[in-house]
A and B are shown apart, each in its own frame.
Chain A
């Protein structure tokens, strides 16, 4: 797969094109910078492909090629900045320490390029991309940075440009904020040393902006924790939960220690739950089966867009709301610790999804396997919808129901290949777990195959046992060449070709035994339908052999020249008149072609009703 994309790159000398949609597993196979950009440019792409320790498929390492492509992909507007930022955040969390400076060097290169672009002063998109790089740098975890030498010279240039007024009204605030943030890294803000009194004053005015800078950039962990505490106090003062404001000191300690204010569900059992539709992702799922490989790709689509894409991730933060016993207001799933939210919340690992292809990542969001095996394909068909039942603390809470459809699979055609032999014997079990899905399990000599077919596609799908074609008849013998004529006489006619052999009879279709478990559907209707699509077909008759070619005629005999002599009177006397050459003999007739063989006969197809599973 990688070779194919690379070949395209070499031939056209341009960016390689990839077949889309591209799943995370396919990205791992391509394993290149352009592939990473192509993946992330898709709707609903997941940033977990950037997580080097993710459970789901992800890039194995961040090569220089990927680093450059990732940064350029955002700067050139190919990757949505919000998604890009999430990818970059997880990289900063997971990359080995020695790979962080080269990443920031790359970011710095892109940053400087945009800052020097005069279009920045009039292009809101470009300013947005610069802001994305800018925030990533300012919000980065403490201790991570670019190479010191490169950084020093860059900041020197930046300060000089600011001092000389060389930056426009859009560029200048970015530069000013960068320079100011360096002061915070040295423990100073607006010319003063940062201390508890300054932080208290900021908290008293609700200034989370500055306190957040302190949390991210102050030089010591102790100072950063002090800033965190002030932010938590601001949040507690604004909290709608009376119990949070009443227990402010304990809540503050909990949030600082654990990053959130998790509720113990044993003490506060679930009463009811709802989903906020405005914050809940909704998609439809398309299953693309590869019947012979017995696996499938799950893809997503939505009414609002025309193209298929990968399945989205699902976050329940702010979307799932639960009423819990003895908690004054509905609560949602705990926010990321960076938000320092004191609201009572449900821990991400208290929420589960009962779906065979869903799994939770380390951050608490849910993902779907996009490459699945046949057992999962069949399991999904038990429902009309792609059902996502949500449990909170093990108790059923709410359910998400997405549309589910199966792309029409290839026909399951089992063809005997040895001439004239009977088609494979098939044993088929048909289930109809819902009105919209047919599940076929086919036992054939070469193995067992399962496939799911939507009712909408059932008339176009076939399962076939086909006899082998008959053997082809042998070609008739060639006629012998005619004998050559003697001097002055004609050649003889060539011999006639022999008749071609008749083709062999096609093999009969194999026997097919079909067990039908109708489930809720009407059995006679189902069988009528199945009789049209489950077939036993005889093989075609073999082609008749061609007749042998007639032999070529014999060549005519050679001519003889007249002979003369001169007598005693000096006269020329003809001794022999000579003769002309003989004609070539005519070719023999071609032999007659053999007759085509008779086709094989259809085999028996027997239907039997059986109880549905579980009845």
Chain B
């Protein structure tokens, strides 16, 4: 029972974090995983499809998307933080309001979620940057369902009021799924 609880908390299979003090648990976990024929774990990376996007070199780095008004740095982490990490910089000379409660993430399979900042946020002052951790956004970490996301697409839509005009920023991503 203890082992099962640990597996559930730590994630899935061999990429699970192993507390150093839990040698006995690790042993039990190994026995358990061997007996259950555990599914292959995968890592996701989301690469921007927007023109002029600066793609990250590593999966843990943010994609940078820029226009004259807004700079967005985005890291989608559906298995670790189970969140979208979004930094927005207001490049205008007026306050920029983000409709934080209206953000959506839509998959090419038609699924749509509305991740929200984990703390309430307001507008972004001219020249300022605001960091948001949009939760939840989770995908399967292992097995066939994870592998099935290879090549799929997602669109993050962030409605904003920029220079007093409503505008929807659409950030498109293609997913790369690799075994770890």
Taking a contact as CB atoms under 8 Å apart, the answer to whether B138 and A206 are in contact is no
CB distance from B39 to the nearest CB of A (A): 11
Of the listed stretches A121-129, A285-293, A427-435, A450-458, name the one at the interface; the rest are far from the partner chain. Answer: A121-129
B164 cross-chain contacts in A, Cβ below 8 A = 238-240
Does A487 make an interface contact (CB < 8 A)? no
Decide: B135 and A128 in contact? CB cutoff 8 A.
no
- Tell which of B95, B121, B140 touches A207, judged by Cβ atoms closer than 8 Å: B121
B118: CB under 8 A from chain A? yes
Is B120 within 8 A of A122, CB to CB? Answer: no
Q: Which residues of B contact A237 (CB under 8 A)?
A: 95
Q: Cβ of A122 and Cβ of B139 under 8 Å apart?
A: yes
> Which chain A residue has the least Cβ–Cβ distance from B109?
A125
Q: Are A170 and B136 in contact (CB under 8 A)?
A: yes
CB pair B101 A212 closer than 8 Å: yes
Complex interface: chain A residues within 8 A of B28 (CB): none
The reply to whether the CB of B100 lies closer than 8 angstroms to some CB of chain A is yes
Inter-subunit contact B97/A124 (CB<8 Å):
no
The answer for the CA separation of A396 and B37 in the assembled complex, in Å, is: 70
Are B141 and A122 closer than 8 Å at their CB atoms? yes
Task: Collect the chain A residues with CB atoms within 8 Å of residue B83's CB.
Answer: 169
Please tell me if the beta carbons of B122 and A124 are within 8 angstroms of each other in the complex. Answer: no
Q: Assess whether A238 is in contact with B138, with CB atoms less than 8 Å apart.
A: no
The yes or no answer to A209 lying at the interface (CB within 8 A) is: yes
Residues of B with C-beta under 8 A to A118: 8
Evaluate contact between A209 and B95: CB separation under 8 angstroms: no
The answer to whether A205 and B136 touch across the interface, beta carbons within 8 angstroms, is no
- Is the C-beta of B14 less than 8 angstroms from some C-beta in chain A? no
Set of chain A residues within 8 Å of B97, measured between Cβ atoms = 206, 208, 234, 238
Write out the residue numbers on chain B whose beta carbons fall within 8 Å of the beta carbon of A169: 81-83, 135-136, 138
Cα A141 to Cα B70 with chains together (Å): 36
Tell me which of A122, A173, A174, A238 contacts B95 (CB under 8 A): A238
Residue in B78, B113, B121 whose beta carbon sits within 8 Å of that of A209 in the complex: B121
Q: Known A124-B111, A127-B136, A128-B111; judge A209-B82 contact (CB<8 A).
A: no
Partner of B82, one of A170, A206, A213: A170
Instruction: Return chain A residues, CB-CB under 8 Å to B81.
Output: 169
A170–B100 CB distance below 8 A: no
Residues A124 and B113 in contact, CB atoms below 8 Å apart: yes
Query: Taking the complex as formed, is A131 at the interface, i.e. its CB lies under 8 A from any CB of chain B?
Result: yes
- B5 CB to closest chain A CB, in angstroms? 9
Question: Does chain B have a CB within 8 A of A270?
Answer: no
How many Å from the CB of B160 to the closest CB on chain A? 10
| Residues on the B chain within 8 Å of A202, using CB | 122
Shortest Cβ gap from B75 to chain A (Å): 15
Let me know if A209 and B120 touch, CB within 8 A.
yes
- Whether A128 contacts B114 by the Cβ 8 Å rule is yes
Q: How far is the CA of A125 from the CA of B101 in the complex (A)?
A: 18
Interface string of B136-165 (1 = CB under 8 A from A): 111111000100000000000000010011
Determine whether the beta carbon of B136 is less than 8 Å from that of A173: yes
CB pair B135–A170 under 8 Å, yes or no, is yes
Contact B137 A173 (CB under 8 A): no
Decide if A209 touches B107 in the complex (CB within 8 Å).
no
Q: How far is the CA of A127 from the CA of B78 in the complex (A)?
A: 12
Tell me the bound Cα distance from A567 to B57 in angstroms.
140
| A124 close to B161 (CB less than 8 A) | no
CB-based contact B139/A240 at 8 Å: no
B118 touches A173 (CB 8 A): yes
A168 CA / B78 CA spacing, docked (Å):
13
In the complex, what distance in Å separates the CA atom of A200 from the CA atom of B104? 29
Does B112 interact with chain A (Cβ within 8 Å)? yes
Alpha-carbon distance between A193 and B75 when the two chains are bound, in angstroms: 36
Question: Are A207's CB and B120's CB within 8 A?
Answer: yes
- Which residues does chain A contribute within 8 Å of B105, judged by CB atoms? 124
Nearest CB in chain B: distance from A208 CB, A: 7
Asked if B117 CB lies within 8 Å of chain A CBs, one says yes
B-facing residues in A181-224 (Cβ within 8 Å) = 202, 205-210, 212-213
Contact A124 B139 (CB under 8 A): yes
Question: Which of A123, A174, A213 has a CB less than 8 Å from the CB of B138?
Answer: A123
Q: Which residues, 105 to 123 on A, are CB-close (under 8 Å) to B?
A: 118, 120-123
- A127 and B113 form a contact (CB under 8 A): yes
> Across the interface, which residues of A come within 8 angstroms of B6, CB to CB?
none
**B138–A210 contact, CB under 8 A?**
no
How far apart are B163's CB and chain A's nearest CB, in angstroms? 8
Point out the residues of chain B lying under 8 angstroms from A121, CB to CB.
Answer: 82, 138
User: Known contacts A121-B138, A238-B95; is A206 also within 8 Å of B112 by CB?
Assistant: no
Contacts of A122 in B (CB 8 A): 79, 138-141, 145
B95 to chain A, nearest CB (A): 6
The CA-CA distance from A239 to B137 in the complex, in Å, is 32
Shortest Cβ gap from A339 to chain B (Å)? 11
Residue of A nearest to B120 (CB): A209
Name the A residues within 8 Å of B107 (CB-CB). 124
Instruction: For B95, list chain A residues within 8 Å (CB).
Output: 206, 237-238
A124/B137 contact (C-beta < 8 A), A239-B164, A240-B164 known: yes
- Contact code string B75-111 (vs A, CB < 8 Å = 1, else 0): 0001101110000000000010100110001010001
Q: What is the minimal beta-carbon distance from B47 to any residue of chain A, in angstroms? A: 19
Whether B165 and A240, one on each chain, are in contact in the complex, defined by CB atoms closer than 8 angstroms, is: yes
B140 contact set on A, CB distance < 8 A: 122-123
Select one of B101, B138, B161, B165 contacting A127, CB under 8 A: B138
Which of chain B's residues has its CB closest to A121's CB?
B138
Complex alpha-carbon distance, A90 and B137, angstroms: 29
Residues of chain B within 8 A (CB-CB) of A123 are: 138, 140
Q: A128-B114, A239-B164, A240-B164 are in contact. Are A210 and B137 (CB under 8 A)?
A: no
Min CB distance B119 to A, Å, is: 9
**Which of these, B122, B136, B141, contacts A208 with CB under 8 Å?**
B122
* Cα–Cα, bound, A67→B75 (Å): 40
Q: Is the CB of A238 within 8 A of B122?
A: no
- In whole angstroms, what is the CA distance A206 to B121 when docked? 8
Known: A169-B82, A170-B136, A240-B164. A125 touches B111 (CB 8 A): yes
Which of A118, A207, A238 has the most CB atoms of chain B within a 10 A radius of its CB? A238
Cα of A170 to Cα of B81 in the assembled complex, Å: 9
Please name all residues of chain B whose beta carbon is closer than 8 Å to the beta carbon of A240 when the two chains form the complex: 164-165
Is the beta-carbon distance between B117 and A205 smaller than 8 angstroms? no
Decide yes or no: A131 and B82 within 8 Å by CB, A173-B136, A205-B123 being known contacts. Answer: no
**Residue interface bits A226-250, CB-to-B below 8 A is 1, else 0:** 0000000010011110000000000
Chain B residues, CB < 8 A from A165: 9
- Write the chain A residue with the least CB distance to B78: A124
Expressed in whole angstroms, the Cα–Cα distance for A489 and B57 within the complex equals 120
A398 to chain B, nearest CB (A): 21
6 examples of A-B residue contacts, CB within 8 angstroms? A118-B8, A122-B138, A124-B105, A127-B113, A127-B136, A205-B122
Chain A residues at the B interface, C-beta cutoff of 8 Å: 118, 120-125, 127-128, 131, 135, 165, 168-170, 173-174, 202, 205-210, 212-213, 234, 237-240
Binding site for A on B (CB under 8 A): 8-9, 78-79, 81-83, 95, 97, 100-101, 105, 107, 111-114, 116-118, 120-123, 135-141, 145, 161, 164-165
13 additional A-B residue pairs with CB within 8 Å, beyond A127-B138, A173-B136, A207-B123: A122-B140, A122-B145, A124-B139, A127-B137, A128-B113, A170-B136, A170-B138, A208-B97, A208-B122, A209-B100, A209-B121, A237-B95, A238-B164
